[in-house]
Amino acid sequence: MSRPLRIEYENAFYHVMNRGRGRENTFLSDDDFKYFLYCIEQASLRFNIEVHSYCLMTNHYHLLIKTPDANLGRAMKHINGLYTQYFNRTHNTDGALFRGRYKAVLVDADNYLLHVSRYIHRNPIETRTPLVDDLAQYKWSSYQAFIKKITMPKWLVRDFIFSLQGKKQKYAAYKRFVDYENNEEIDDFYSAKQLRSVLGGDEFIENLKSLIATPDTERKLVTKKRSVSDVIAYLASHFNVEIHEIVAVKKGRIEKNLPRWFAIKLCQNLTGLNLQALADVFNVQHYSAISKAVGRLNGLMRENKKVKLQFEMLECALMSEVKI
């Protein structure tokens, strides 16, 4: 049987999972769990991946990853390889630790990412024999960081997930959301005998088909990174405003600043910069302000189809270098 097609492109989201060979345990001590988290941290620094949720179980793991540089394969090879070397050295074993190539589900972020994050975090109590009575007690997942029970690792990204909730009390709102059981669609998807490689709506899947059908030479042009200065200059010209009106923070009551919001989201989608780098560009102290701006724009686009169409036209123009 041929292996399923691995679809990689810039800024894609994946639910990545792998299990121990022969269902054997892959984590035998607290030090093992800690070292795997170290491997994730190293991969995030070396390959510029963003980790949006994780859960490490005794014989498998779950990761929710975004790949600004379309390099999931390289990042996961590094994580699995580095950890396997450590495990064999520490426990006097040899050979493969995991059952083979990791599974990766490409996730439609707008419609399913929040649900996948909940599915990942509920793992410790969804097993036949729950590992804890209260999810907040399980220390080898990112859930404790999401409800602000522990200090968040520097490499973990929470704010994009929070922005999908559209709630002010983000920690309490996320806890209430996770307390609910997974919805039926998510349970059916993950309980299937053969796990599908894509979790998404019809439009998302159709767009993927177009991407797969595009020749490699053209695909590279479509996913070509743009510089921050290019994006901001284009937005300033399009809206006939000064650049400082886009990059500067306006104090006082928050008002709709579409040129700035568009610029932030387009820079996030097209430049490959991480949230902290974008925070520096747009003159905010903490990267959470970037996620909040994107969240406001996402909410506005859900309410107003004209704003959504305008954003899509701008993104298309920047990707294809065609003026509109």
pLDDT of residue 283: 92
C-alpha 73/C-alpha 258 separation (Å) is 36
Q: Which pLDDT band, with edges at 50, 70 and 90, does 221 fall under? A: very low
User: What does the alpha-carbon distance between residue 276 and residue 185 come to, in Å, rounded to a whole number?
Assistant: 35
CA 278 to each of CA 163, 254, 267: distance values in angstroms, whole numbers, following the listed order: 16, 19, 8
> Distance between CA 82 and CA 162 in Å, rounded?
31
> Does the pLDDT of residue 224 top 60, yes or no?
no
Which pLDDT score is estimated for 256?
80
Q: Give the pLDDT confidence of 132-171 residue by residue, as tens digits.
A: 999 999 999 999 999 999 999 989 999 999 999 887 789 9
Q: For residue 247, what are the contacts with CB-CB under 8 A and spacing of at least 6?
A: 232, 260, 263, 281, 282, 283
- Looking at residue 296, what is its pLDDT? 82
| 287, two tokens | 């990267």
The yes-or-no verdict on residue 323 having pLDDT over 90 is no
With 0-12 / 13-18 / 19 or more C-beta atoms within 10 angstroms meaning exposed / middle / buried, residue 54 is buried
Rounded CA-CA distance 317/321 in Å is 5
Q: pLDDT grade, residue 106 (50/70/90)?
A: very high
Q: Which of 236, 246, 274 is nearest to 156 (CA)?
A: 274
What domains lie within the chain, and their CATH numbers?
Answer: 12-209 (3.30.70.1290), 224-320 (1.10.1750.10)
| C-alpha to C-alpha distance for 144 and 153, rounded to whole angstroms | 11
Whether the per-residue pLDDT at 223 is higher than 50: the answer is: no
Residues 203, 225: Cα–Cα separation, whole Å: 24
pTM of the predicted structure, to 2 decimals: 0.69
Which one-letter amino acid corresponds to residue 28? L
Give dist(CA 269, CA 67) in Å, integer: 11
The two tokens of residue 236 are: 């300033």
Is the dihedral angle over the CA atoms 76, 77, 78, 79 positive or is it negative? Answer: positive
Q: Which of 148, 127, 128 has the alpha carbon at shortest distance from 136?
A: 148
The whole-angstrom separation of Cα 250 and Cα 197 is: 43
Asked if 64 and 145 touch (Cβ cutoff 8 Å), the reply is no
